[in-house]
Amino acid sequence: MRKISADIVYPIVGKPLPKGVITVDEQGVIQAIEADTPESRMGAQTYKGIIVPGFVNAHCHLELSHMKGKVATGTKLIPFISNVVKRRDEDPESVLPSIKQADEAMYENGIMAVGDISNCADTFEQKKISKLKYYTFVELFDFKQAEQTEFDNRKPIYEQHPETDTLKKSYVPHAPYSVSEQLFKQINEANTGEQRTVSIHNQETPDENELLEKGTGAFIDFVKGFGLSTDPFVATGRSAIHYALKNMDPAHRTLFVHNTMTTENDIIAAQRWGKHVYWVTCPNANLYIENRLPDYQAFLNQNAMMAIGTDSLTSNWQLSILEEMKTILQYQSYLSFETVLQWATLNGALALGFQKDLGSIEYGKAPGLNLLAMPDPTEDFDLRRCRVIRLV
Ligand SMILES: [Zn+2]
């Protein structure tokens, strides 16, 4: 048993505890969380800084870790995707070592679980030995060409991935602009049996809404560039998320990822559509690719369930949920630390279905414990400059 205390403990469920004391066993399971008293304090290791539960990274592409620094910032989404497609097969020897390094860095950065997109099986061996829990999203897209081959190609990848208490999986659609109605149907049929988590990239760029609404814009040339038919891209008169809602299954926990162009009306429509809707924000990736952030006020107005992702090292400088929190609080500083901390922990755990163990400091859970502390312990706490130290 270890007793741990710091200036403030944020259990997430319940109020912050000044000098709160946590008792944790060898397996990291919380045995007690107590207010500061002479008895509770006895034998506790006391730290300067604040203690929060382990973080959940609700959106990553671990398999793209070898492309760190290879794709330019600020190009907007379509040139970004073109560059990823062009360059992802360069330097194949670096793929597996980069995956291992990124997985270990996430652990060091205080992350406990990851929602991870997979287009291939490259990450599966590392996931089997990882200290993190993973929800792997085997991703499908056919650029609306409605060819059977896409599903048939991905099925063996899905089947290679184990399914255990710490490794979950589902089939997921890539984005509203890249998946045919037929492929959506195949995905829904394959995800039967239990409630799963399903994610989709959503409204990441103005071109995406234009394509779905009007059938025009830069995506048309992008599709032509691959020699594909543009016939399926017909105007629907509605923003991109409506096409996703029409074709996805509301029984699953559904993660809409990015949402930089999502309006309050879009949020209302999605929350009427399903009871298990989560909105995953990846602010540093949004700044990297499109140099813009979602309108978080619209999500607050609608009591939206927000979670936080890092996206991949192709569109980020690091895989750290703390760094994402710093960015959110720097650029939309009307948000409180407590609000964003809940996005980073409990909401992410709920989104991935890992809330039984993760997301809050509560008796019986094994959430991991992170100390947020200043590099120099004599300094006053400042979130912008603090770092994360993993205690449990
Ligand atoms: Zn992504």
Q: What CATH number is attached to the domain comprising 14?
A: 2.30.40.10
Question: What pLDDT is stored for residue 104 in this prediction?
Answer: 98
How far is ligand 1, taken at its centre, from the CA of residue 343, in Å? Answer: 18
How far is ligand 1, taken at its centre, from the CA of residue 59, in Å? Answer: 6
Tell me the pLDDT band of 93, cut-offs 50, 70 and 90: very high
Question: Residue 89: CA atoms inside 13 Å, Cβ hemisphere, count?
Answer: 5
How far is ligand 1, taken at its centre, from the CA of residue 105, in Å? Answer: 19
Condensed to tens digits (0 to 9), the pLDDT of residues 209-245 reads: 999 999 999 999 999 998 999 999 999 999 999 999 9
Who wins on pLDDT, 17 or 378? Answer: 17
Tell me the pLDDT band of 87, cut-offs 50, 70 and 90: confident
First vs last C-alpha separation in the chain:
12
Nearest to 133 by CA among 99, 167, 102, 101: 167
**Mean pLDDT of the 52-57 span:** 98
How far is ligand 1, taken at its centre, from the CA of residue 137, in Å? Answer: 11
- The verdict on 157 and 20 lying in the same domain is no
145 within domain boundaries? yes
- The verdict on 6 and 80 lying in the same domain is no
Condensed to tens digits (0 to 9), the pLDDT of residues 20-41 reads: 999 999 999 999 999 999 999 9
Condensed to tens digits (0 to 9), the pLDDT of residues 156-173 reads: 999 999 999 999 999 999
- Give the global pTM: 0.98
Structure tokens at 274: 């399903």
CA dist 299 and 265 (Å) reads 10
Question: What pLDDT is stored for residue 148 in this prediction?
Answer: 83
- The verdict on 150 and 43 lying in the same domain is no
Question: What pLDDT is stored for residue 192 in this prediction?
Answer: 84
15 within domain boundaries? yes
Please enumerate in sequence order all residues whose Cβ is within 8 A of that of 298, keeping only pairs 6 or more positions apart, or say none.
262, 263, 264, 267
- The verdict on 259 and 292 lying in the same domain is yes
Count the Cβ atoms, other than its own, within 10 Å of residue 47: 17
How far is ligand 1, taken at its centre, from the CA of residue 77, in Å? Answer: 11
Helix axes 181-190, 240-247, angle to 10 degrees: 40
- The verdict on 49 and 67 lying in the same domain is no
CA dist 306 and 255 (Å) reads 9
CA dist 107 and 105 (Å) reads 5
How far is ligand 1, taken at its centre, from the CA of residue 163, in Å? Answer: 22
Question: What pLDDT is stored for residue 19 in this prediction?
Answer: 98
Domain count, the chain: 2
How far is ligand 1, taken at its centre, from the CA of residue 51, in Å? Answer: 29
- The verdict on 27 and 110 lying in the same domain is no
- The verdict on 281 and 134 lying in the same domain is yes
- The verdict on 270 and 128 lying in the same domain is yes
Structure tokens at 286: 């949004």
CA dist 263 and 366 (Å) reads 37
How far is ligand 1, taken at its centre, from the CA of residue 3, in Å? Answer: 39
Query: From the DSSP assignment, how many helices (H) and strands (E) are in the chain?
Result: 15, 15
How far is ligand 1, taken at its centre, from the CA of residue 18, in Å? Answer: 38
Q: Which residues surround ligand 1, an ion (CB under 5 A)?
A: 311
Tell me the pLDDT band of 126, cut-offs 50, 70 and 90: very high
Question: What pLDDT is stored for residue 170 in this prediction?
Answer: 98
CA dist 71 and 87 (Å) reads 9
Q: What is the CATH number of the domain that holds 82?
A: 3.20.20.140
pLDDT > 70: percent of the chain: 100
CA dist 278 and 305 (Å) reads 5
Residue 107 DSSP SS3: helix
How far is ligand 1, taken at its centre, from the CA of residue 202, in Å? Answer: 9
Q: Is residue 91 scored above 90 in pLDDT?
A: no
Q: Is residue 391 scored above 90 in pLDDT?
A: yes
Question: What pLDDT is stored for residue 106 in this prediction?
Answer: 98
- The verdict on 75 and 32 lying in the same domain is no
- The verdict on 196 and 111 lying in the same domain is yes
**Mean pLDDT of the 116-138 span:** 98
How far is ligand 1, taken at its centre, from the CA of residue 107, in Å? Answer: 20
CA dist 102 and 239 (Å) reads 35
User: What mean pLDDT is reported for the chain?
Assistant: 96
**Mean pLDDT of the 305-315 span:** 98
357 within domain boundaries? no
269 within domain boundaries? yes
How far is ligand 1, taken at its centre, from the CA of residue 30, in Å? Answer: 33
33 within domain boundaries? yes
Q: Is residue 42 scored above 90 in pLDDT?
A: yes
Tell me the pLDDT band of 85, cut-offs 50, 70 and 90: confident
How far is ligand 1, taken at its centre, from the CA of residue 237, in Å? Answer: 26
- The verdict on 311 and 379 lying in the same domain is no
How far is ligand 1, taken at its centre, from the CA of residue 178, in Å? Answer: 13
**Mean pLDDT of the 87-96 span:** 90
196 within domain boundaries? yes
How far is ligand 1, taken at its centre, from the CA of residue 13, in Å? Answer: 29
How far is ligand 1, taken at its centre, from the CA of residue 380, in Å? Answer: 36
- The verdict on 25 and 74 lying in the same domain is no
Domain of 171, in residue numbers: 55-352
